[in-house]
Amino acid sequence: MIKKASIKDLETLKALIQEVQDLHHQLFPKKFKPFKEAKPEIVFQNYFEDADASIFIAYSDKKEAIGYIAFRQNSYKEGPVSFAYNSIFIEHISINSVHQGKGIGKKLIQLAIKEAKKIGVECVELNVWSQNISAKGFFEKLGFKAFYEKMSLDI
């Protein structure tokens, strides 16, 4: 079961982000705080205040929250060298590791695609960490293609 999240789900979302926040900190300790120092409730609060943003929570058959997706509609203006377009940008997706590989992430991505089609946007976009090989493979299996890479040099 997947349901749209509300402000009442803030503690549930905070628990769901812990695993991915710690992974980000492990991969990039100079850029991401460990979960115990992070304040994800502020991030989620901003989603609930943004009319263009949505969060959905996936539940197991036992009604346990096991993952979520957060996305927002983006509008890109025409520039000197680029066309204007609209997208749904997936900013967060996380499935508890014990529930990965069961089709939950695919269902959440399909939900985002359905929402995108419903509002008539041209594409669904997301970022993925280069070091997160399993996530990259997951998105590629669903048809996502690399479009942009950001590189960093610590000095």
CATH number reported for the structural domain that contains residue 96 in this entry: 3.40.630.30
State the pLDDT at residue 134: 87
pLDDT in tens, 93-123: 999 989 999 999 999 999 999 999 999 998 9
Q: Is 152 within the bounds of a domain? A: no
Q: Is 54 within the bounds of a domain? A: yes
Give the tokens for residue 153.
């040099």
The boundaries of the domain holding residue 46 are: 2-141
Query: What percentage of the chain has pLDDT greater than the value 90?
Result: 74
Q: Is 151 within the bounds of a domain? A: no
Number of domains in the chain: 1
DSSP letters along 64-132, please? -EEEEEEEEEEEE---SSS--EEEEEEEEEEE-GGGTTSSHHHHHHHHHHHHHHHHT-SEEEE---TT-
State the pLDDT at residue 138: 93
State the pLDDT at residue 48: 94
pLDDT in tens, 4-43: 999 999 999 999 999 889 988 998 899 899 998 989 889 8
Judge whether residue 154 has pLDDT over 90: no
State the pLDDT at residue 27: 86
pLDDT in tens, 2-12: 999 999 999 99
State the pLDDT at residue 115: 94
pTM of the shown model: 0.90
